[in-house]
Amino acid sequence: LAAREEALQQEKSDAQYLTEANMVQILLDIFGAATDTSLGELQWLCLTMTRKPEIQARIKREIEYHLGQTPPTLQDREKLPYTVACLYETLRFYPILPMGFPHNTSCDTHAGGKFIPKDTGVFYNIHAVNHDPALWKDPDVFRPERFLDFATGKLNLEGLPPLLTFGLGPRTCPGEKLGHVNMFYVLVRLMQRVSCS
């Protein structure tokens, strides 16, 4: 609301959009987007754990050993590398959207040997990239270990292709970090209390 007052004082035309109702709607949009997408990813992981109970058992063992029933903190992510790897693999295996949001090229360019003129609409297939055998070994196998260092067992994203689930570059999803944190907290608390079967 302070921004609205400032815009009115400066006689800016966009002040009309800085209403309390619009700001509440924007906050609800952000909250809804973060909640829906995180919930969807966790539902996919729970389904996977019903089909592969060994994954659930390993997550539960890791959480019990390091946290017991203590609620997780952000710092606990380092103590739970397999749990975090399962979240990354879920994001890779079951992208929230199969296709990325459209973008326009800002200049004439070439991609894959094809000429693409300036202002051409471009879509990217998130599912195809996240399941590309040229990028991922056994892409159609749900294998969280691909995100772990073989020698140390710690989370290791070095040398892996980027996950396109949240987009890429300057227009990546602004809620990516919140999504990762949300899913981590909810998954840990869920596994401390229930089993998926």
Helices and strands counted in the chain (H then E): 6, 4
Written as one string, the DSSP assignment of 90-157 is: HHHHS-SSSBPPPEE-SS-EEETTEEE-TT-EE--BHHHHHT-TTTSSSTTS--GGGGB-TTT-SB--
CA atoms within 13 A on the CB side of 163: 21
Residues 85 and 157: beta-carbon distance below 8 Å: no
Q: Does residue 173 have a known ligand-binding role?
A: yes
Residues making up the annotated binding site for heme are 173
Residues making up the annotated binding site are 173
